[in-house]
Amino acid sequence: MGRRTGALMSDLTVCELGQSEWEHWDQWLALQPWGSPFSAAWWLDANCRAFGGRPLLLGVLDRDQLVGGVALRVMDVGPLHMVRSSMLYNPVVIAAGSAHSRQKVLGTLLEDVARRRLVVPPLTCTPDMVDLRQAVWHHWNMTAGWTVMSDLTTWTVEDVSRSEREKIKKSRRAEVTACIEPPDADLLYELLQATMSRQGQSMRLTRGQLRTLIEAAGTHGMQTTVRDEDGTPLSSGFDMSHGTRVAYDIWSGTSASGLAKGAAVARYVFRQRELRARGYEYLDWCGANLPGVSDFKLEFGGALTTRLAISREPLWFRALFPAYVRLSELRGSLKQREG
């Protein structure tokens, strides 16, 4: 399977998985307790097509069995090989096992990444990856962030705060309707743009990039939309999963009219009921670092949860990276105008 780079610890090896092996990787990923779309080959491929770069899917093998890995988008800039993190999460995935065996897998993978001399910005891991001692022992940097996790197995609308439940009543009086609709990137883009504009922020995605990512999600995505009584879209959101345990809140947007009619809250509650009915155990709201954002997400009955990120960036790179980011933002702004 793939191209091996030699044994590093015990009989573990690291294998670069070629495109013919991506389906096997995705099947294995779906069986993992915390397998997420952010590690899937289809998501990696879509990100490379949307944002540029080449896919590097590394699998850790115990003999011929996959036991872990990571999906990386790599930009080659002269002699530099820079990993560009996936939005929201870019986790290391390790199969269930003892703490000792999982640490061996992680150490093997990190040594392989170091040998490839990859510059690795923070890779945000899903909340299950709390034991990252090997990253510290291998002199990687580690930072902490937060997200909100909702336990859908016990969640009811009574877990929503009283103030948000009042907005549900407002949405009923306005006779808005929430439903699952076929993915529509253009509709979502318009509502995302409305939200970002109200917040004084610029869009990080072009319309074309959003289309590419949503089309790639296929059956792994679910779009919920709230419409006014005349059919006008007021609020829309897109969730993704890989497997049936955890769903991830990826994008959402609401018009000013939708906010006034409680459409966003109606959609959040409808979405959680729908995910629970489909058998999902958890909803990850994908980030809660900002005070206002975390407070709002907690209104819907979730719990604040730590998530860790690991990185491997030389000091010279960290000194120059801010200028690179400014250049990238300028290029992105120009592309957005063209798109």
* DSSP-assigned states of every residue in 154-179: T--GGGS-HHHHHHHHHHHHTT-EEE
Q: Which of 334, 294, 313, 320 is nearest to 135 (CA)?
A: 313
> By three-state DSSP, how is residue 254 classified?
strand
pLDDT at residue 8 in the model: 42
* Burial group, residue 145, by CB count within 10 angstroms (0-12, 13-18, 19+): middle
| CATH number assigned to the domain with residue range 3-139, chosen from the 4 options 3.30.43.10, 1.20.120.530, 1.10.10.10, 3.40.630.30 | 3.40.630.30
Query: What is the per-residue pLDDT for 292?
Result: 87
Report whether pLDDT(231) > 60.
yes
Q: Where do the domains of the chain lie?
A: 3-139, 149-305
Burial class of residue 101, CB neighbours in 10 A (0-12, 13-18, 19+) = middle
- Give the Cα-Cα-Cα angle 96, 102, 108 (nearest 5 degrees): 135
Q: Domain 149-305, CATH 3.30.70.260 — does that match?
A: no
Q: Choose between 44 and 315: higher pLDDT.
A: 44
What pTM was estimated for this model as a whole?
Answer: 0.89
Please report which confidence band the pLDDT of residue 6 belongs to, taking 50, 70 and 90 as the band edges: very low
For the chain, how long is the longest CA-to-CA vector? 65
Residue 182, burial from CB neighbour count under 10 angstroms (0-12, 13-18, 19+): exposed
Mind listing the pLDDT tens digit for each residue in 245-268?
Answer: 999 999 999 999 999 999 999 999
What mean pLDDT is reported for the chain?
92
For 145-182, write each residue's pLDDT tens digit.
999 999 999 999 999 999 999 999 999 999 999 999 99
Intrachain domains 3-139 and 149-305 with the same fold: yes
pLDDT value at residue 326: 74
Indicate if the alpha-carbon torsion angle 178, 184, 186, 189 is positive or negative. positive
Q: pLDDT exceeding 90 applies to what percent of the chain?
A: 82
